[in-house]
């Protein structure tokens, strides 16, 4: 590692190391989830699965909206 703490005389810093480490970790997680999301989002295409955070939120919001509509309908039916 070319940081002054381990290798004196370099221009990099420990902060550069941590930024690179965190960025690569998030990128790796993103890719792994994108390829494994066919189990979370069956029926969606490969390119849509690469937008998995947005797709999962939209799926969850759709379910929440459907659940709310079902509850509202049940409430109306119970009042009648």
Tens of pLDDT, residues 43-75: 777 777 788 888 778 777 776 566 666 767 777
Is residue 23 over pLDDT 90?
Answer: yes
The reply to whether 29 and 43 lie within a common domain is no
Q: How many domains does the chain have?
A: 2
The reply to whether 42 and 80 lie within a common domain is yes
79 vs 26, higher pLDDT: 26
* Domain enclosing residue 23, as ranges: 1-36
The reply to whether 24 and 4 lie within a common domain is yes
Mean pLDDT of the chain: 77
The reply to whether 14 and 30 lie within a common domain is yes
The reply to whether 26 and 44 lie within a common domain is no
Question: Which residues have CB under 8 Å from 14's CB, separation 6+?
Answer: 3, 5
Kindly indicate the confidence band of residue 4, based on its pLDDT and cuts at 50, 70 and 90: low
Q: What is the pLDDT of residue 67?
A: 64
Question: Which token pair is 34?
Answer: 């994108």
Is residue 19 over pLDDT 80?
Answer: yes
């Amino acid at each position: 590692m070319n940081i002054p703490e381990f290798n004196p005389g370099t221009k990099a810093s420990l902060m550069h190391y941590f930024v690179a480490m965190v960025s690569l970790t998030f990128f790796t997680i993103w890719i792994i989830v994108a390829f494994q999301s066919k189990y979370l989002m069956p029926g969606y295409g490969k390119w849509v699965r690469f937008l998995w955070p947005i797709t999962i939120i939209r799926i969850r919001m759709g379910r929440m909206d459907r659940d709310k509509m079902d509850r509202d309908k049940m409430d109306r039916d119970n009042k009648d």
